[in-house]
Every structure is written in structure tokens, then in C-alpha cells.
Copies of this chain bind each other. A is one copy, B any other.
Amino acid sequence: MPRVVIIGGGFGGLQCAKKLRNETVDVVLVDRQNYHLFTPLLYQVASCLLNPSEIAAPLRKVFRGARNIRVRLGEVASIDYDTKEVHFVDGAALSYDYVVLAAGSRANFFGNDALAARALSLKSLGKALELRNHVLECLERAAASSDAGERARLLTFTIVGGGPAGVEYAGALAELVRLVIPAEYPEIDPAVVRIVLLEGDNRLLPTFAPRLSRYAQRELERRGVEVHTDHELRSDDEIEGATFVWTAGVRPSELAGDGCIDVDEHLRVPGRSGAYAIGDLAAVRDRKGRELPMTSPPAMQEGRHVARHILATVADKRVRPFRYRDKGSLATIGRTAAVSQVGRLQFTGLLGWVAWLVVHLYYLIGFENRFQVMLRWSWFYVRDDRPVRVIVQARRRGDGP
């Protein structure tokens, strides 16, 4: 049977592998992590609401019982497109008939190393936990400090980037602070806390309708977040406070080389036989020639298309070219406040929030996670709590097993 190597178990790679399950191809799904991560809820891990395992589904568990799918934990060093081999950092190699590049993206600091060194981010589960640890430590240190200036520094949180990630994290952080400080930190004056959200565009959520942007800004401000639009960040000196969260830019994985990979109408990489590129590292355009956003819905649709195209090719059949179906966008600001747009429909407030809830629960991979997250959300709704407030370092041993 022909072998399909999928590099990346994110939204695109996972959908591609699922579509190939129990078909007449051998699939090897490669990832640096042993889990699929539901990244849209990472900010809830960073803000003490969810446990890591609730948004991380072990890849081997997802494909339990799928006889034609193997999972390989490892880091890809390079791909030899002539000999059709994937080379791993650990020296191993894997030959393929079809390779699907689905390695996603990483944070983009536009070459500013000083920014990169200081920034916390939401680009991985480890990073989200680092951010959680950091914020909780800031609260503890502020509580223990008798120096007003130092307390103000520790209690100023700057978030750069007013897209969905920045907006959602800013809203969640404001709620965390509002729930936890008055009840549990008598040493801290809540008025000293500042959450600053910086956006380079002239409005938050620039990919949403202007009405929704205005709503998001108003709701964040109502929750005490200082929003600065049209803000051009020149150096990290401008960033106030001990916490600086970067959500302002992503760039494709190292695998893609310098920029996104151009693909044809079937998401094939021109000139490289048997190779496909999907998701954040692929430059896929809609019918108007605009590049699709680096979000999960295009990645998922692309993954399924590539699976269909591979199966058709193996069976010597044809499929129609890829066409993206825009199912809308969502972002939440806080409890009962979210924005969503589906085609020309736009929702805000409770209705937007319910849409957000339903979509996120529906897409959470694995029944158990969904069930747990639902329980936890209900609990937090009733109790107004942020239960996962532990500062804990989990290392991997330097030398490995």
C-alpha cells in the first residue's frame, strides 16, 4: 500500500489522517508532541480555567484501533523530495509516496530578538503553562512586596496583538484578576492592576466587521482593559510591566523555508511529486485571490481535501479543486460576551457567546475532553472560580530517557 507521511498533528494533519483512516493507504502521522492541541482554548489554560489534558488529546488515543495509522513522535530535520524521504533529527528516515506538510506556524517577532527574549506567548501548551505560572507568580510577588513601584510593575500586564488570541486572553485575564484578587489577595489593591492591550491596526479584531470590533473594545474596557489601537510598537522598552504577552504575529514553520509554501488547486507543491502543503504553512487562496487566514477552519478543510485527493489519485480517479467554505469567525471576551459572524449574520453578547460555546464544544476532539470541559465551564459559571491556579514546573530531563 502507498505510504502517506503527514507532518504535523494539528487541525490540518489530524483531519487528513482521520479521512484516511481504514482506507487503502498506510499513514504515518508525525509530530513533535504526542498530542493534538485544541489551540483555540489555550488561553483558558493560561488563565487557570482548564487543565492541559482537557485540550490535549493524545494522538495515539485519537487513532486507537485504526490499523493503517501509526503515530511517530519526532522532529523532522529535512525532506528529500527526490528520494522521497523524511529525515528526523534523531537520524532516522522514513520513505513516502505522499507527504503532507502540516507543521503549522510559530510566533513571529519580525526579527526583533529583544522582543522575542522577553515575550510570553500562547503558541504551545508549554508556553501557555509558562504564562500561567508567570502571572500567578506576579500576583504572589506583588502580595509580598512592600515597594509600591515594584507592585505596580508586577501588576501591569501588556498584551500585544488585538486579534482573537489577544482579545480572548485579555478578557480572560481581566476575569481572573477580578475573581481572584479581591477574594484572595487582601495585600493587593485591585485598582493598581493594569491590563493593556496594544493593536497596530485602527481597531481590534481587524478581520471581523467593524461593529463587532467596536463591541469587543467596549466590552474589554468595561472589564478594565486599557485598549490602544493604532499602536506601532518600535522597541520592547515601550512595554510596561513585568508581563508581556505576544499574540501579534505568526510565521510558517521552519519546514516551509522562508515563507508560506505556494500550492496548486489541489494543495500540491508544484515541482515536488507527491508533496502537499496545508494549514498555516501553505499559501492557499480563495476565489478572489486573497490568502486564507492562518486559522483552524481552512486547515481542517485543506486536510480533508488532501486526503480525498490522495485516495482519488491512488484509485486513479479525480476530485474537484479545493474550495474554501467560510463558516464564520468567533471570538469571546468573557462570560456571556462574544462576537461571531457567519456570512452576513453578526452576533454579539449572549447570543454570540452561546454560538462560541456550541462551536468550541463541538470541535473539541474526543468525547471525554468535551464532557470534562462542559462540566468545568458549568462549574465556573455557577461558582465563579478559576480552579487551576497552581504554579508548577514540569521539566523533561535534559538528557532524555
A395 at the interface (CB under 8 A from B): yes
CB interface residues, A 41-63, toward B, < 8 Å: 51-54, 56, 58, 60-61
Once bound together, how far apart are the Cα atoms of A391 and B53, in whole Å?
A: 10
Once bound together, how far apart are the Cα atoms of A72 and B146, in whole Å?
A: 13
Pick the interface stretch among A182-190, A197-205, A300-308: A182-190
Look across to chain B and name the residue whose beta carbon is closest to the beta carbon of A379: B368
The residues of B that contact A240 with a CB separation of less than 8 Å are none
**Are B61's CB and A394's CB within 8 A?**
no
The residues of B that contact A389 with a CB separation of less than 8 Å are 34-35, 53, 58, 60-61
Q: What's the minimum C-beta distance from A73 to chain B, rounded to whole angstroms?
A: 4
**Are B73's CB and A140's CB within 8 A?**
yes
Once bound together, how far apart are the Cα atoms of A54 and B379, in whole Å?
A: 14
A388 at the interface (CB under 8 A from B): yes
Once bound together, how far apart are the Cα atoms of A368 and B388, in whole Å?
A: 11
Question: Pick the contact of A56 from B65, B140, B242, B390 — CB < 8 Å?
Answer: B390
Once bound together, how far apart are the Cα atoms of A52 and B132, in whole Å?
A: 14
A243 at the interface (CB under 8 A from B): yes
The residues of B that contact A130 with a CB separation of less than 8 Å are 394-397
Once bound together, how far apart are the Cα atoms of A302 and B73, in whole Å?
A: 48
CB interface residues, A 124-147, toward B, < 8 Å: 125-126, 129-130, 132-134, 136-138, 140-141, 143-144
**Are B395's CB and A61's CB within 8 A?**
no
**Are A134's CB and B64's CB within 8 A?**
no
Once bound together, how far apart are the Cα atoms of A51 and B52, in whole Å?
A: 8
Residues 69-88 of A, flagged 1 when their CB comes within 8 A of B and 0 if not, give: 01011100000000000000
Once bound together, how far apart are the Cα atoms of A144 and B401, in whole Å?
A: 13
A95 at the interface (CB under 8 A from B): no
* Sample of 16 more A-B contacts, CB < 8 Å, known A125-B390, A138-B401, A375-B375: A34-B140, A34-B391, A51-B52, A51-B388, A61-B184, A73-B144, A126-B392, A126-B393, A126-B395, A129-B392, A130-B397, A133-B395, A141-B401, A154-B401, A368-B387, A394-B394
- Identify 15 residue pairs between A and B in the complex whose beta-carbon atoms are under 8 Å apart, listed by A's number: A33-B390, A33-B392, A34-B136, A34-B390, A35-B391, A52-B392, A53-B390, A56-B392, A60-B184, A126-B394, A132-B394, A133-B394, A133-B396, A141-B401, A393-B396
